[in-house]
């Protein structure tokens, strides 16, 4: 425990600093003391006189999207860690299971055809679509062969993704106007603009829940190091553990996708980078990846708001712009290793 | 010996064990009971079902028929964790791309004894150290997995199995891919262990050094007993399809097998 304390303090400090940066930096120039006053007013009723528009920008716009960015980054990175561990595949990531493709189909269905548009938001449609795709992938993987064969899950995921991507494209070309298509494309690329407090209260607990469930199973995840048979002979109920943790990952990913769209590379790059730094032990890798994912996505969000003045780039574009070169670097640095 | 075996509960036993894969019968009606503390060699030609038998005995596959008993309890009804506390399996090819250290790889053997909230205690550390020492691998402890040679990896796998503190150890061709020096030292180390060990072997001269030998032929258990009673020239001709003679080594008087193609 004594070794753990300094790291926890450091992690918390880094997270707070990033949250502050995300709240202080944005398209409109607000003085740091205005930001401080707004935060102070809300956190401990300091009672500073501030412009209600400034207060709204800081509290309802910047802080919420920064918190959701943190939760999404943490959640997606955690999912990446457990999928890579369980499927023993370095390319495993949260969207592998067809979740993002399913989510986009669901969102597009709601957005274009007005399917249940009264009861369902685009997010709700995305969530249902993601879970539908995941169920299909799971059924397909199960039907394709024994549970010990990880390749089945990955191949089923690819098939599911292709199917739902095609469905989305079909729907867009068949019924979308140019304006609608642009809006949907923007949403698909990952977009934090629309988030407000209700999204925060959904994303934060879900990310935390995912992290706690995975930490609880950290030894089981370690036991998969030498494959599923090895895990079973180390006393892990393989099928139950896989189903529980993969479903947990699917749920977390589906919630994140439904709030912000498909943000790529966080779930792939962050776990790999940290595994190189810290080694494969999950008791360290899981919290570190959650923190790394949160910091990465907060930074990407800040960049997405500031890179082009007056225009917000989809955050998924920024993560891919950083993520792709970083991933290439990791691949090159792994050269010469088995 | 048979009286002893009947009085004690066999650490690991199976009755009428059978397995079908894709319509093909891989194992048929195997009855086998290990004796406390022995090293039992399982031999047989390629595809005779050695690995499948070990997988069934370890509970990794469900048998098509028959039952396995571990320490007198039916394996099928034991939770995985309980099985792993009593039985450890070292597979033929278990590899990883993770940069895991030797110490951490052996420490995985403590998994069945740890819960989510229990920390890795000093007692666990002592057991891991002991397992490394038993396999003469203490000097490897900080090395990373991918930097190990085949023989070193095999020793680490066995050390991990020992860290489970099992009563029964199953080894699937542990001397495969090792040079002759490592084959001999590994087998010696395994035979020196006090746990009941079932080991699948290809080298019949190595099987001669074990306490008992079981011969598998196309999924049948065709012979079980003392090495020299079982590995007769007639048996070797009918099961392995080779002519065999026993020679006596003038160096120490040991009897060894020499083979000729028919």
**Residues B60-74: pLDDT tens digits?**
989 999 999 999 999
Asked whether residue B213 is domain-assigned, the answer is yes
Report the alpha-carbon distance of residue A301 to residue A319 in Å, rounded: 9
Kind of pairing between the strands at B220-225 and B65-70: unpaired
Q: Which helix (H) or strand (E) holds B19?
A: strand B12-21
Contacts of A84 in chain B (CB under 8 A): none
Q: Which residues on chain A place their C-beta less than 8 Å from a C-beta of chain B?
A: 90, 216-220, 222-223, 225-227, 229-230, 232-238, 275-276, 279-281, 337-338
Taking residues A116-135, report their average pLDDT. 76
**Smallest Cβ distance to B100: which of A225, A229, A337?**
A225
Total structural domains within chain B: 1
On the CB side of A84, CA atoms within 13 Å amount to 27
Asked if B197 and B171 touch (Cβ cutoff 8 Å), the reply is yes
Asked if A225's CB is within 8 angstroms of B108's CB, the reply is yes
At B124-176, the pLDDT tens digits run 999 999 999 988 889 999 999 989 988 889 889 999 999 999 999 999 998 88
Taking residues A43-57, report their average pLDDT. 85
Residue B108: left if φ>0, alpha if ψ -120 to 50, beta else—which one? alpha
Asked whether residue B153 is domain-assigned, the answer is no
What pLDDT, on the 0 to 100 scale, is given for residue B16?
92
pLDDT mean across residues, chain B: 90
What pLDDT, on the 0 to 100 scale, is given for residue A147?
55
Asked if A276's CB is within 8 angstroms of B99's CB, the reply is yes
Asked whether residue B200 is domain-assigned, the answer is yes
What pLDDT, on the 0 to 100 scale, is given for residue A335?
60
Q: Which has the higher per-residue pLDDT, B2 or B96?
A: B96
Kind of pairing between the strands at B196-200 and B39-43: parallel
Asked whether residue B38 is domain-assigned, the answer is yes
Window from A135-149, A162-176, B5-19 with minimum mean pLDDT: A135-149
CATH number at residue B86: 3.40.50.300
What pLDDT, on the 0 to 100 scale, is given for residue B70?
94
Report the alpha-carbon distance of residue A163 to residue A180 in Å, rounded: 22
Among residues B170, B131, B156, B151, the alpha carbon closest in space to that of B34 is found at B170
At A291-331, the pLDDT tens digits run 999 999 999 999 988 888 878 888 888 888 888 887 788 77
Most confident by average pLDDT, A110-119, A229-238, A261-270 = A229-238
Report the alpha-carbon distance of residue A161 to residue A156 in Å, rounded: 9
Asked if A110 and A283 touch (Cβ cutoff 8 Å), the reply is no
Give the domain range for residue B42. 2-93+166-231
Asked if A304 and A315 touch (Cβ cutoff 8 Å), the reply is yes
Q: Report the residue of chain B nearest A90, measured CA to CA.
A: B97
Report the alpha-carbon distance of residue A251 to residue A248 in Å, rounded: 5
Residue A93 pLDDT class (50, 70, 90 cuts):
confident
Asked whether residue B128 is domain-assigned, the answer is no
Which value, in Å, is the radius of gyration of the alpha carbons in chain B? 19
Q: Which two tokens stand for residue B98?
A: 């993770």
Q: Which has the higher per-residue pLDDT, B107 or A276?
A: B107
Q: Which two tokens stand for residue B173?
A: 């061709």
Contacts of B105 in chain A (CB under 8 A): 225-226
| Dihedral over alpha carbons A196, A197, A198, A201 (to 10 degrees) | 130
Distances B184 to A112, B77, B152, B202, B228 between C-alpha atoms, Å: 71, 38, 14, 13, 20
Asked if A279's CB is within 8 angstroms of B116's CB, the reply is no
Q: Which two tokens stand for residue A228?
A: 């599923």
Q: Which helix (H) or strand (E) holds A173?
A: helix A150-175
Residue A79 pLDDT class (50, 70, 90 cuts):
very high
Report the alpha-carbon distance of residue A76 to residue A210 in Å, rounded: 10
Report the alpha-carbon distance of residue A169 to residue A100 in Å, rounded: 14
Residue B35 pLDDT class (50, 70, 90 cuts):
very high
Question: How many other β-carbons are positioned within 10 Å of the β-carbon of residue A172?
Answer: 18
pLDDT mean across residues, chain A: 85
- Burial of residue B160 (CB within 10 Å: 0-12, 13-18, 19+) is buried
Most A CBs within 10 A among B97, B113, B121, hence the mutation to make, goes to B97
At B205-234, the pLDDT tens digits run 999 999 999 999 999 999 999 999 999 999
**Smallest Cβ distance to B114: which of A219, A233, A237?**
A219
| pLDDT of B28 over the 50 cut | yes
| pLDDT of B5 over the 70 cut | no
Taking residues A22-31, report their average pLDDT. 82
| CB pairs A-B closer than 8 Å | 81
What pLDDT, on the 0 to 100 scale, is given for residue A329?
81
Question: How many other β-carbons are positioned within 10 Å of the β-carbon of residue A176?
Answer: 17
Q: Which residues on chain B place their C-beta less than 8 Å from a C-beta of chain A?
A: 55, 58-60, 79-85, 87-89, 91, 94-101, 104-105, 108-109, 111-112, 114, 116, 146, 157, 164
Residue A264 pLDDT class (50, 70, 90 cuts):
confident
Residue A177 pLDDT class (50, 70, 90 cuts):
confident
| pLDDT of B191 over the 50 cut | yes
Window from A1-5, A43-47, A65-69 with minimum mean pLDDT: A1-5
- Percent of residues, chain A, with pLDDT higher than 70: 94
**Smallest Cβ distance to A235: which of B55, B83, B101?**
B83
Among residues A134, A96, A99, A67, the alpha carbon closest in space to that of A258 is found at A99
Asked if A233's CB is within 8 angstroms of B89's CB, the reply is yes
Asked if A256 and A203 touch (Cβ cutoff 8 Å), the reply is yes
CATH class of A4-331: mainly alpha
């Amino acid at each position: 425990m004594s070794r753990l304390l300094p790291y926890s303090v450091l992690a918390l400090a880094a997270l707070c600093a990033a949250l502050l940066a995300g709240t202080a930096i944005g398209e409109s120039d607000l003085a740091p003391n205005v930001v401080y006053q707004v935060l102070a007013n809300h956190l401990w009723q300091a009672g500073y006189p501030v412009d209600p528009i400034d207060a709204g920008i800081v509290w309802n716009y910047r802080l919420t999207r920064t918190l959701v960015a943190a939760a999404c980054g943490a959640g997606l990175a955690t999912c990446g860690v457990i999928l890579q561990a369980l499927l023993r595949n370095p390319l495993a990531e949260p969207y592998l299971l067809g979740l993002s493709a399913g989510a986009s189909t669901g969102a597009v269905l709601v957005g274009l055809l007005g399917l249940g548009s009264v009861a369902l938001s685009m997010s709700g449609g995305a969530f249902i679509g993601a879970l539908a795709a995941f169920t299909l992938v799971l059924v397909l993987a199960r039907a394709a062969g024994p549970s010990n064969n990880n390749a089945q899950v990955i191949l089923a995921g690819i098939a599911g993704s292709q199917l739902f991507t095609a469905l989305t494209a079909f729907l867009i070309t068949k019924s979308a106007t140019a304006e609608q298509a642009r809006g949907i494309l923007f949403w698909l690329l990952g977009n934090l603009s629309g988030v407000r407090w209700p999204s925060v209260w959904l994303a934060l607990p879900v990310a935390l829940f995912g992290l706690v469930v995975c930490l609880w199973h950290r030894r089981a995840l370690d036991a998969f190091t030498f494959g599923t048979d090895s895990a079973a002979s180390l006393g892990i109920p393989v099928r139950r553990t896989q189903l529980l943790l993969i479903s947990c990952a699917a749920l977390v990913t589906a919630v994140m996708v439904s709030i912000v769209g498909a943000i790529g590379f966080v779930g792939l790059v962050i776990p790999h980078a940290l595994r190189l730094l810290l080694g494969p032990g999950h008791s360290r890798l899981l919290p570190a990846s959650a923190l790394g994912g949160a910091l990465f996505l907060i930074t990407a969000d800040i960049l997405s708001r500031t890179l082009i003045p007056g225009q917000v780039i989809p955050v998924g574009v920024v993560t891919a712009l950083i993520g792709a070169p970083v991933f290439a670097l990791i691949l090159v640095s792994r050269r010469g290793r088995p | 010996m048979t009286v002893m075996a009947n009085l004690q509960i066999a650490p690991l036993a199976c009755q009428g064990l059978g397995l079908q894969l894709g319509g093909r019968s891989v194992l048929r009606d195997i009855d086998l009971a290990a004796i406390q503390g022995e090293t039992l060699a399982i031999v047989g030609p390629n595809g005779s079902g050695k690995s499948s038998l070990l997988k069934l005995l370890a509970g990794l596959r469900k048998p098509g028929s028959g039952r396995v008993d571990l320490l007198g309890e039916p394996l099928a009804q034991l939770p995985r964790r309980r099985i792993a506390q009593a039985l450890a399996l070292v597979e033929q090819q278990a590899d990883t791309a993770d940069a895991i250290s030797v110490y951490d790889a052996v420490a995985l053997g403590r998994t069945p004894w740890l819960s989510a909230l229990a920390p890795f205690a000093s007692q666990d550390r002592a057991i891991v150290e002991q397992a490394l020492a038993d396999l003469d691998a203490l000097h490897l402890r900080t090395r990373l997995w991918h930097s190990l040679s085949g023989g070193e990896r095999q020793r680490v796998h066995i050390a991990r199995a020992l860290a489970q503190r099992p009563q029964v150890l199953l080894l699937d061709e542990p001397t495969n891919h090792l040079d002759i020096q490592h084959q001999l030292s590994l087998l010696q180390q395994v035979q020196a262990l006090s746990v009941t060990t079932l080991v699948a072997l290809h080298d019949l001269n190595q099987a001669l050094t074990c306490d008992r030998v079981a011969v598998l032929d196309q999924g049948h258990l065709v012979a079980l007993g003392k090495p020299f009673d079982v590995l007769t020239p007639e048996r070797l001709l009918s099961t392995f399809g080779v002519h065999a003679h026993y020679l006596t080594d003038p160096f120490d008087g040991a009897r060894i097998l020499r083979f000729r193609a028919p």
